[in-house]
């Protein structure tokens, strides 16, 4: 019924870059409204030490609220076993365990080698498997800097495939392949996602693009050509990576939904509701830069969403 | 040697929306610098009555200067026979005769039916044929609102193909297919350009996209898939259509060149020179909104242009 899955990460990747604490009520309202608009999955928070990211001090409360929203898959980011443990205790449906393919970026981000992160990931899978079925979360491996790194520059495709093979062997249920710093171009996207598809077979591979250099939606189009059918995006393009200077902005949820629906690809998301929510959240996050065009330009006259 | 041709239209489509007269020296400097950076074709001005667009009162002087620039194809827009006549007298290499596929848009733009414009176009072709070979300009038919219209909404593909067939029959040397108001999506772009390609054979078809709704570069990627190898763009995304409310901004020349070169497609354009020029022109056009991302975000570390 849904052709392409659009997942919201503004509540995590977006809020992570907001320099003040956003009230818990705003976060809850954001999740509720997105779920109501038809977004099927939200990365609602990050399980990192509160002293590093005080923004997510209320993670438990936000998760508890999100779990009451009908039909919503509640995902949370964890960069290590401890975070994953907490996410499991709180009953999230999905844990997005993020590690960087680029060695230097991984060290800057989580102060360990990529190999140590892969081993840690294996322990997260083991921990999840000890949870009784029915309550057991899916464990997703998020491969950051898979299309370039601000520290190392180009990241070899062979390296990405190698790390992907390792996390799949360790028991990943799904993959997220992330252009964390906005270095990807449509040609590299097509190549990498086609290669990964041939490596991992039918496993779900989601693309996570940043629009830092304006190619975000073109990269989505390239990934669609490589049979990717799930994308992360952030309302108003909010977000970035605090450890990658100049890397600002996920692709915009509302612009992504517009492109897909205009192309005749059903997302299940109500664009008008999303645009209204954008206005509301932008107001709640005063002074934060919001990106994107469809909210400003308006829908084309006679626009029809995918039937 | 060049895989994809990038043509500058900021000097016409861009300046057309600037509400004050830009000094002739700035326009000349702009043309010189773009030619030096490797841009092979520039639409340097529009031949419309000065009372309607005083911006182009200095068209003769700008054309004369552009004609001195080695290797540059000097194009000019003309919306009618009178404008074309003047362009021919001044010795331009190419006349982009623009008519709207949407009847209502053509009336709003040039106060005549599309049929009358097609007949007028035939007279322009005839006039050009009376010019001795060697000095004879190419006559290009620019099909505006080919992917949607702010007045009529959706524009049927059959209508675009019909008008294209008429201008080709009238003797067009090349076609420009324009998403004048930023309504296109990658699926409609692929369909239309593939259909036109099968209709007109080997004739050059250039795409002219606006980024009004953020899909400009995704549409370029879709057009590349349909074998389009020439694109209009505007430095800093300057421009729009004064008769189409909300329709602002051509795709950015520098972002387009970045995407193509990152994909390994040679444009012959020096990106660093282009970014430097953008800064210079933005300063010269104080307070005009410039768009685009690569100039702000900078090139990726280790970026290599197409070899």
- Pairwise CB contact (< 8 Å): B259 & A292: no
Tokens standing for B222? 């879709």
DSSP A184-228: --HHHHHHHHHHHHHHHTTS-EEEEEB-TTS-HHHHHHHHHHTT-
Tokens standing for B277? 């020029």
- Pairwise CB contact (< 8 Å): A262 & B149: no
* Chain B residues lying within 8 Å of A150, measured CB to CB: 301
- Pairwise CB contact (< 8 Å): B259 & A302: no
Segment holding A87, helix H or strand E: helix A81-90
pLDDT band of B247, cuts 50, 70, 90 = very low
Q: Which residues of A are catalytic?
A: 241
**CA–CA dist A283, A23 (Å, integer):** 13
Q: Is A298 left (phi over 0), alpha (psi -120 to 50) or beta?
A: left
Cβ(A259)–Cβ(B186) below 8 Å: yes
Task: Pick one of 3.40.50.300, 3.40.50.2000, 3.20.20.70, 3.30.497.10 as the CATH number of B5-297.
Answer: 3.20.20.70
In tens digits, chain A (307 residues) has pLDDT values of 999 999 999 999 999 989 899 999 999 999 999 999 999 999 999 999 999 999 999 999 999 999 999 999 999 999 999 999 999 999 999 999 999 999 999 999 899 999 999 999 999 999 999 999 999 999 999 999 999 999 999 999 999 999 999 999 999 999 999 999 999 999 999 999 999 999 999 999 999 999 999 999 999 999 999 999 999 999 999 986 555 444 468 999 999 999 999 999 999 999 999 999 999 999 999 878 888 899 989 999 999 999 8
* Chain A residues lying within 8 Å of B298, measured CB to CB: 246
Tokens standing for B240? 């729009």
Tokens standing for A18? 């907001």
**CA–CA dist A231, A251 (Å, integer):** 9
3-state secondary structure at position A255: helix
Other Cβ atoms within 10 Å of A212 Cβ, number: 28
Which residue from B minimizes the CA distance to A149?
A: B301
**Per-residue pLDDT tens for B80-100?**
999 999 999 999 999 999 999
The confidence score (pLDDT) of residue A245 equals: 47
A295 inside 8 A of chain B by CB: no
**Per-residue pLDDT tens for B263-301?**
999 999 999 999 999 999 999 998 788 888 999 899 999
Question: What letter would DSSP give residue A229?
Answer: -
Most B CBs within 10 A among A179, A211, A221, hence the mutation to make, goes to A221
CA distance B171 to chain A (A): 33
Q: Which of residues 187-246 of B touch A (CB under 8 A)?
A: 187-188, 211-215, 217-218, 220-222, 246
Most A CBs within 10 A among B189, B219, B297, hence the mutation to make, goes to B297
CA distance B297 to chain A (A): 6
| Pick from B152, B213, B298: CB nearest A246 | B298
- Pairwise CB contact (< 8 Å): A214 & B293: yes
Q: Is B45 marked active-site? A: no
The confidence score (pLDDT) of residue A246 equals: 44
Maximum pairwise Cα distance, chain B: 54
Place of tokens 């000095």: B135
| Pick from A188, A213, A222: CB nearest B293 | A213
Question: What letter would DSSP give residue A21?
Answer: P
Partnered with residue A45 across adjacent β-strands are A76
| Pick from A182, A187, A297: CB nearest B212 | A297
- Pairwise CB contact (< 8 Å): A186 & B302: no
pTM: 0.96
Give me the helix-helix angle, B157-169 and B114-129, nearest 10°: 30
Place of tokens 């399980």: A47
> Residue B29's Cα: distance from chain center in Å?
19
Q: How far is CA B139 from CA A31, B66, B136, B170, B190, in A?
A: 55, 18, 9, 10, 25
**Per-residue pLDDT tens for B21-75?**
999 999 999 999 999 999 999 999 999 999 999 999 999 999 999 999 999 999 9
| Pick from B213, B222, B293: CB nearest A293 | B213
Q: Which of residues 163-182 of A touch B (CB under 8 A)?
A: 181-182
**Per-residue pLDDT tens for B250-268?**
999 999 999 999 999 999 9
CA distance A148 to chain B (A): 8
Measured over the CA atoms of residue B116, residue B79, residue B248 and residue B227, the dihedral's sign is positive
Mean pLDDT, residues B191-195 taken together: 98
**CA–CA dist A174, A184 (Å, integer):** 21
Which residue from A minimizes the CA distance to B295?
A: A213
Q: Which of residues 42-81 of B touch A (CB under 8 A)?
A: none
- Pairwise CB contact (< 8 Å): A293 & B264: no
- Pairwise CB contact (< 8 Å): B255 & A213: yes
- Pairwise CB contact (< 8 Å): B215 & A259: yes
Which residue from B minimizes the CA distance to A155?
A: B302
DSSP chain B: --SSEEEE-IIIIIGGG-SSPPPHHHHHHHHHHHHHHT--EEEEEE-S-TTT-GGGTTHHHHHHHHTTSTT-EEEEEESSHHHHHHHHHHT-SEEEEEEESSHHHHHHHHSS-HHHHHHHHHHHHHHHHTSPTTTPPEEEEEEETTT-BTTTBS--HHHHHHHHHHHHHTT-SEEEEEETTS---HHHHHHHHHHHHHHHTTS-EEEEEB-TTS-HHHHHHHHHHTT--EEEEBGGG--B-TTSTT-B-BPBHHHHHHHHHHTT------HHHHHHHHHHHHHHTTT-----SHHHH-PPTT-----
Other Cβ atoms within 10 Å of A227 Cβ, number: 10
């Amino acid at each position: 019924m849904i052709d392409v899955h659009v997942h919201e990460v503004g509540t995590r990747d977006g809020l992570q870059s907001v320099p003040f604490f956003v009230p818990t009520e705003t976060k809850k309202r954001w999740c509720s409204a997105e779920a109501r608009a038809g977004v099927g999955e939200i990365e609602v928070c990050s399980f990192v030490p509160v002293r590093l990211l005080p923004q997510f001090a209320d993670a438990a409360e936000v998760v508890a609220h999100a779990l009451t929203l009908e039909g919503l898959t509640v995902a949370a980011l964890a960069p290590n076993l401890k975070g994953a443990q907490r996410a499991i205790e709180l009953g999230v449906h999905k844990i997005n365990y993020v590690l960087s393919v680029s060695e230097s970026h991984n060290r800057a981000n989580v102060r360990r080698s990529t190999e140590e992160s892969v081993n840690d990931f294996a322990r997260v899978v083991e921990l999840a498997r000890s949870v009784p079925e029915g309550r057991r979360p899916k464990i997703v491996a998020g491969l950051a800097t898979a299309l370039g790194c601000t520290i190392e520059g180009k990241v070899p495709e062979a390296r990405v495939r190698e790390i992907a093979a390792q996390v799949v062997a360790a028991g990943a249920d799904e993959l997220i392949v992330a252009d964390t710093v906005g270095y990807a171009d449509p040609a590299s996207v097509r190549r990498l996602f086609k290669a990964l598809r041939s490596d991992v077979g039918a496993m779900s591979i989601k693309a996570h693009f940043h629009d830092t250099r304006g190619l975000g939606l073109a990269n989505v189009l390239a990934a669609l050509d490589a049979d990717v059918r799930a994308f992360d995006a952030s309302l108003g393009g909010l977000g970035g990576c605090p450890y990658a200077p100049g890397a600002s902005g996920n692709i915009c949820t509302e612009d992504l939904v517009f492109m897909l629906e205009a192309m005749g690809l059903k997302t299940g998301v109500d664009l008008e509701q999303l645009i209204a929510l954008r206005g509301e959240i932008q107001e709640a996050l005063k002074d934060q830069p919001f990106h994107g065009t469809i909210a400003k330009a308006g829908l084309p006259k006679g626009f029809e969403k995918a039937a």
